[in-house]
Amino acid sequence: MQNQKTRFVMALSLVLSSLTGFAQMEVDVHGFVSQGFMGSTDYNFQSLETVDGTVNFNEMGINFSTAISDNLRAGVQLFSRDYGTVGNNSLVVDWAYGDYSFNDTIGLRVGRIKAAMGLYNETRDIDLVRTSILLPQSIYNETFRDIQSAMNGFEIYGMLPMNSVGDLLYKLQVGYTDVDSENSGVTARFAADGAVDISDVESHNTYVGSLTWLTPLSGLRVVGTASQFGFKGIGTSTLPAALGGSTVQSAYDLEEVHSGSLSAEYMTGDWIFNAEYAYSQVDIDVDFYNVPALGFSTTSAMEQSGGYLGSSYRINDLVEVGSYYSIFDNINDERLTKDLALSLRLDFTANWILKLEGHWINGGEDVYPANDNPGRSVSDGDDWYLFAAKTTMSF
């Protein structure tokens, strides 16, 4: 925690000194704060104790940006969230980069950049741009948000005009994911699965490619993304009784996570329609280092896929409604998790909104055994329900 605070203070000092250095420039300052509630039947949802109802669900952030020249912009966002056992309101640099645009065809961003995965990964921190509280978990799992959201590295981007068939936007990103082992979703999930009690997380290189086709049909965009990343959780594990049941040093290494997705969004009038599908394959290597008279490792591969269909409708200036149906397929275990969500959004002002949301869930991918649940053996036939409320103010 101390290292986290030290990094934050250093980042804030750098921001303030940079803004002081550019005192003659106009600096845009924006921010947001949100507070939520979640409650559920039967099972706790992910890392939150939702059966009893919980308010350990909040987000806040502030960002600064400025145009240094006609072609160069710089900015930073400081961010904090609490999501059950994840985040714990630790302060992090969400994004921070310099952006130089040579022309419409090519530009370069360097620093901490948002990962261009799917339709909404780059904007998932901005609650005001969507109807739902939770994005479909088959694509945008909240527990893994800290490893999916951003990377430290660089991005080459641009737009390629294709005349009568629209425009093509491209992004190529290379970097690594900086994970806070103390407060991360990775740590929480590994501990919940009983794999490793993590004390440190090492990141492998991350590669992301994204193509967005802005079609000739106004309001329709189609996005394809591909990525490879990985990380190693280092800590301790408890061996099975057959191997002595002792606690040993171990590492849970997701050596290569290969993922691809195809997405589409159509905006027409007061309607938004969206659909996404993603597939991933993970190579896993688990090593045990100090097993008495025996050192060994196990390797395995895991396949997953997921997708959803969704829509939203703006009724008037105050009311917006939305829904999606999401399916996650844990292919190895032949286990499906289905989620039907209904959302209501109320815009009281341009800067203050309230959202209410209900989920019918069938299956147990979002049930973590270490979070006071009877186990992850939730069958495909088990139905349970989740309710969420969230209010956000922005400036």
How confident is the model over 147-192, as pLDDT tens digits? 888 999 999 999 999 999 999 999 999 998 877 767 777 777 766 6
Q: What is the mean pLDDT of residues 59-67?
A: 95
Say what the pLDDT of residue 233 is: 74
Say what the pLDDT of residue 368 is: 83
CATH number for the domain harbouring residue 267: 2.40.160.10
Closest by alpha carbon to 83, among 126, 174, 135, 146?
146
**CB contact at 8 A, 84 and 54:** yes
Q: Please give the residue that has the higher pLDDT: either 373 or 86.
A: 86
Q: How many CB atoms lie within 10 A of CB 294?
A: 11
Residue 351 CA to residue 391 CA, distance in Å, equals 11
Measured in whole angstroms, the distance separating CA 193 from the mean position of its chain's CA atoms is: 20
Report the DSSP beta bridge partners of residue 312.
272, 322
With a pLDDT cut of 90, the percent of the chain lying above it is 62
Report the DSSP beta bridge partners of residue 113.
151
Residue 219 CA to residue 290 CA, distance in Å, equals 58
Whether 341 has a pLDDT exceeding 70, the answer reads yes
Closest by alpha carbon to 57, among 32, 85, 34, 36?
36
pLDDT digits (tens, 9 = 90+) for 95-138: 999 999 999 999 999 999 999 999 999 999 999 999 999 999 99
| Residue bearing tokens 């310099």 | 98
Q: Please give the residue that has the higher pLDDT: either 319 or 379.
A: 319
- Burial letters 350-363, b for 16+ CB under 10 A, else e: eeebebbbebebbb
DSSP 29-41: EEEEEEEEEEEES
pTM of the model: 0.86
With a pLDDT cut of 70, the percent of the chain lying above it is 84
pLDDT digits (tens, 9 = 90+) for 268-326: 999 999 999 999 998 877 777 765 545 556 667 789 999 999 999 999 999 999 999 99
Q: What is the DSSP letter of 135?
A: P
Q: How many domains does the chain have?
A: 1
Q: Are strands 247-268 and 220-238 parallel, antiparallel or unpaired?
A: antiparallel
Say what the pLDDT of residue 248 is: 73
Host domain of residue 67: 2-394
Determine the 3-state secondary structure of 2 from DSSP. Answer: helix
Measured in whole angstroms, the distance separating CA 252 from the mean position of its chain's CA atoms is: 21
Determine the 3-state secondary structure of 226 from DSSP. Answer: strand
Say what the pLDDT of residue 1 is: 46
Residues in the chain: 395
